[in-house]
Structure 1
Amino acid sequence: MHGPATVGWLLVALCAVTGASCVLRARGAGRGQRAEAQGEAAMGFGMAAMAVPVLWHGAPRVHTTAAWSFTAVFGLLLMRELWLVAGGRHRGGCRSWRLHHVLSTGAMAYMALCMALSASAGTGAHGAGAGGVPALTGTLLVYFAGYVLWTGTRLMPVMTGAPAGAAAGAHGGQDGQGGMALPVVRQAGVAAGCRVAMGAGMFAMLLSV
């Protein structure tokens, strides 16, 4: 990835924190929601690792090795998401979330492959000619920009307009017996917020393709 190292480290921090919150959300969740949170955690940590500036501002051999490694990792994650969708194992989320997971892993695999081919060709992963299919890159940029704006807009009234008790009740903040509130990381608004954060990170990374 090319660009200022400061931006890269900010992406690392954002994606790492998001991945950690997904790990916490997976603990104690149902089977379908746990698989969903685990997939998002893997995506967050993978994005954090891929954004580390040291990998793209050092020796060319490091660029090539890192790029092909990320291609393999995100290729496997994409196969996992397709397998979960085909087997109907994403029972904890709606169809739009399933498709979003597939698109996200596919976008990461695409970016990693572009950088791998560029590094193997000797143009450099941080050069201006990093490669990629312009139409596909543009489509992914439009999708993730729209996703962040649409999902973020839907979150705003819940986070700022409703009392704390009402918001907790609307998002499953209490258990089925009206008892103790669920942990913050397992509430619906937090899951959506994680997707917004990763969508924004995805958009920033696509700009480097």
Structure 2
Amino acid sequence: MHGPALVNWLLALLAAGAGTSCLVRLRRSPCAGTPGGAHRVLSRESDAAEALMGLGMAVMAVTGATVPPAVWAGLFGLPAAAFLLAAAHAPNGRAHRLHHAVGALAMTYMALAMTAASGHAHHRAAALGLPLLTGALLLYFAAYTVWTGSRLLRTPAGTLALGTAGLPQACRLTMGIGMFAMLLTM
């Protein structure tokens, strides 16, 4: 990433914590054959995608452009294509799958922009990637973060929903903030 080393490490710790939390939820969630199976399948799919994104963000924040672009493209590009296909063919959970596709495509975009710029050391002061695309992704993740944060705070009694039911929302909020921060450092 382009930011100071301390910010990169803090972002890596935040993303790794969120990704690990998603892995733990994925491991503890029941199988799809139990009652409420369709909702559980989407929940497990979401936990898996968020674990991949969180742990991937942590690695990307620390390693930056040292990982070959083909690895990043495979790691995030293939899930993005799978989420786009799943969203196109299954109306149940379409918005959630599209969000995961946007996140995976954003990670692919950032990784490819970083690796393309690493060979051009004299352009290090310039912004990486395409400014219009980066701006659109910044707007998307800013709006997503505000929306997710408002959902986290909204409860019937007006109290914070930070118990076990609020943990997935807090994880999503963390991931949105992390994506916004990574895009901001481009």
Q: TM-score range by the shorter chain?
A: 0.7 to 0.9
Distance 1:137 1:28 in 2: 35
Superposition deviation, residue 147 in structure 1? 1.1
Unaligned runs of 5+ in 2: 31-39
Aligned to 2:45: 35
Partner residue of 1:72 out of 63, 71, 74: 74
Superposition deviation, residue 71 in structure 1? 3.0
Unaligned runs of 5+ in 1: 57-62, 169-183
Distance 1:4 1:130 in 2: 15
Cα 1:65–1:32 shift into 2, 3 Å: closer
Distance 2:52 2:86 in 1: 15
Look up the equivalent residue of 1:151 and give its one-letter code.
Answer: T
Distance 1:201 1:78 in 2: 18
Cα 1:157–1:123 shift into 2, 3 Å: same
Conserved in 2, the CA contact under 8 Å of 1:16 and 1:48? yes
Look up the equivalent residue of 1:113 and give its one-letter code.
Answer: L
Aligned to 2:97: 98
Aligned to 1:109: 108
Superposition deviation, residue 32 in structure 1? 2.7
Distance 2:175 2:54 in 1: 7
Distance 1:99 1:144 in 2: 13
The alignment of Structure 1 onto Structure 2 pairs a total of residues equal to 176
Superposition deviation, residue 28 in structure 1? 2.2
Distance 2:144 2:105 in 1: 16
Stretches of 4+ aligned residues off by more than 3 angstroms: 63-68
Distance 2:3 2:98 in 1: 30
Distance 1:101 1:18 in 2: 15
Partner residue of 1:150 out of 147, 150, 156: 147
| 1:135 partnered with 2:132 | yes
Aligned to 1:47: 57
Superposition deviation, residue 98 in structure 1? 1.9
What is the TM-score with the length of structure 1 in the denominator? 0.74
Superposition deviation, residue 67 in structure 1? 4.5
Conserved in 2, the CA contact under 8 Å of 1:123 and 1:130? no
Distance 2:66 2:160 in 1: 51
What is the TM-score with the length of structure 2 in the denominator? 0.82
| 1:161 partnered with 2:158 | yes
Superposition deviation, residue 204 in structure 1? 0.4
Coordinate RMSD, CA, aligned? 2.6
Conserved in 2, the CA contact under 8 Å of 1:68 and 1:112? no
Structure 1 or 2, whichever has the larger Rg, is: 1
Conserved in 1, the CA contact under 8 Å of 2:151 and 2:169? no
Cα 1:136–1:37 shift into 2, 3 Å: same
Conserved in 2, the CA contact under 8 Å of 1:71 and 1:116? no
Distance 1:15 1:191 in 2: 14
Distance 1:48 1:192 in 2: 19
| 1:8 partnered with 2:8 | yes
Distance 1:160 1:101 in 2: 31
